[in-house]
Amino acid sequence: MEMREKIAKAQRVVVKIGSALLTNDGQGLDVARIGLWVAQIAQLRSQGKEVVLVSSGSIAAGMKRLGFSSRPTQVNELQAAAAVGQMELVGVYESHFEKHGLCTAQILLTHDDLSNRRRYLNARSSLRTLLGFGVVPIINENDTVVTDEIRFGDNDTLGALVANLIEADVLIILTDQQGLFNKNPRDHQDATLISHISASDDRLESMASGGAGVLGSGGMLTKVRAARLAARSGADTLIASGREKDVIVRAASGEMLGTWLQPEHGRVAARKQWLAGHLKSRGALILDDGAVKALRQGGTSLLSVGVKDAQGTFSRGDMVICVDLHGGLVARGLVNYSVAETLKLLGQPSSSIGEILGYKGEPELIHRDDLVII
């Protein structure tokens, strides 16, 4: 599929907006411009696309309200600024989205939330539910409690992790620059904008480490690394100027503006590759012949009714292997229940999960999106 057509067909989009844009380079929240971005997101929603907004700006907004003339160096002062600024930031977003009849939700995350598999699954379930209700989730780093995570550019990484989390088609990173250049345009008049490039292209790192490239300044390196993280689940990434007219709508329609960083593999293939090779197994599920056949031939989720035994010390969200009755490897996947819970569910239908465990969780032991057949 041609790239423009691929982008135009994207149904799930993550939009990340940086602090410099939101606060007009530190002058306080740019309420009017925020309204323009919100209107564009609303237009995407009217087209049936799901949108998650990852927004910086809480610390910068709080600094303005607390009277700081420069960014504080003390962690407790940064946390205080974040707490104050987050109130204003979310209030501005909510008021603008209300004008378009859209409901919003505030979600504060730390990187630990997305590296811990149990919290990862909980966060994903929450976001999927919100998107199902037509809500626009607004995500920010939980700067009021994190310590070393507070730094410029960190929300680029958060945006990529959210793209992985919800299996987004596209990550749009809005910044105060046009995109990536082959040289630093401030120092080289012959610098040219890179329109599209593979997210895994080695030239990106060499430009950053060479000293002359724009990637090493202004947080651009974090954006390149974010694109590589997003590519892990098959998402395309756009780095573009948030001051470009209708940039979000134009990008989502497939217009080639800014810099597109493309994954090597499609969404499904990339995620399956990650599941197959990047997580250590914490246990094993022994499947009956019917479950093995269903997985290999039907591409289904793994249900408890087809599991004969569970081994290991795994918890919700851990990677486990699935084997047949003879020990042959069938699949790998992220399990929805702990080993203790799984042992209670062996051979039982999904309809009995609530009664057996005392709460109603996911109907599958492993959802097909979290399962790779070996």
Which residues line the annotated binding site for ATP? Answer: 16, 175-176, 217-223
Which residues line the annotated binding site? Answer: 16, 56, 143, 155, 175-176, 217-223
What whole-number distance in Å separates Cα of residue 17 and Cα of residue 52?
11
Which residues line the annotated binding site for substrate? Answer: 56, 143, 155
The length of the chain in residues reads 374
